[in-house]
Structure formats: C-alpha cells, structure tokens
Amino acid sequence: MTTEANKALVRRFCDEVANAHDTSKIAEILADDFRLGGADGLNRDALTSVLTYYFSAFSDLRYTIEDVVAEGDTVIARLVMTGTHDGEYDGHPPTGRKFQVDEVDNFTVRNGRITGYRIVWDELGFRRQLGLPLA
C-alpha cells in the first residue's frame, strides 16, 4: 500500500471505530496478528474489550486528528482526545467532568491492515482534569 492508503486506513480506524464507537469494524481494519503496545501487547480481542470499556466510561469519547504523517509502513497520528466521565472508570464512579488531552499514536500497517499500535498520551492531565487519583 502507499503511504496515502496507510494514512487513510488509520483515519478510517479513528472515524469508524473510535469515534463511531463501533468495534464491529475492528476485524476488517486490524490484522489477525495485531498487537497494541508491542509484540507482547494486547491482541485484537483485548483491544476490543478496552475500547468497549472506554466507550462505556466516556459515552461521548472523541478523537480529533490534528495531523497524520507516514513513511513506509509507519503512520503517526497526532490527536486530541475529549470526553465526559459519565460511566465507571478505573473503579471510580462518574464525575461528570470533561477532559481534553493530547495523544500521539504510532501505527504499523502491512498488507492493508493495521498490525501494530502504540499510544503516547497525557494520562496525568487526563486524571487531573477528572479529579482522579494520580495512579
């Protein structure tokens, strides 16, 4: 695939899965051998569970893509994640507070599907904005 096609696939993941809160698209976008966080990371089914959990904790969870760059099979997306804590999260009841944090995602795309995904995000800012203990 071209770098433009790889970027389009990452945008599709953000739009059709993350922003639409639709995990049914995961099997067609993520490879069978997908890993979140490296070779020993979460597989596709585990990511589905994590996303479902986040969609429940933050019913308006949204990712706004600020920038996407690609070279070869690597795609880097700079995003802003926003939402409202309106469900249980990390053992804490809903606070009703909103958050907005920066995130940088590193995707690996091979043969038209995402095989790897690493996330760097402002978890400290996230927890502070929600009034949660700093883990």
76-118 pLDDT tens trace: 999 999 999 999 999 999 999 999 999 999 999 999 999 999 9
Query: Quick one: residue 38, left, alpha or beta (phi over 0 = left, psi -120 to 50 = alpha)?
Result: left
The chain-wide mean pLDDT, for the chain, equals: 96
Start-to-end CA span in the chain (Å): 40
* Residue 135 pLDDT level (bands cut at 50, 70, 90): low
Q: How far is CA 39 from CA 7, 33, 34, 43, 118, in A?
A: 22, 10, 9, 9, 11
- What was the pLDDT predicted at 39? 85
This prediction's pTM: 0.93
* Residue 134 pLDDT level (bands cut at 50, 70, 90): confident
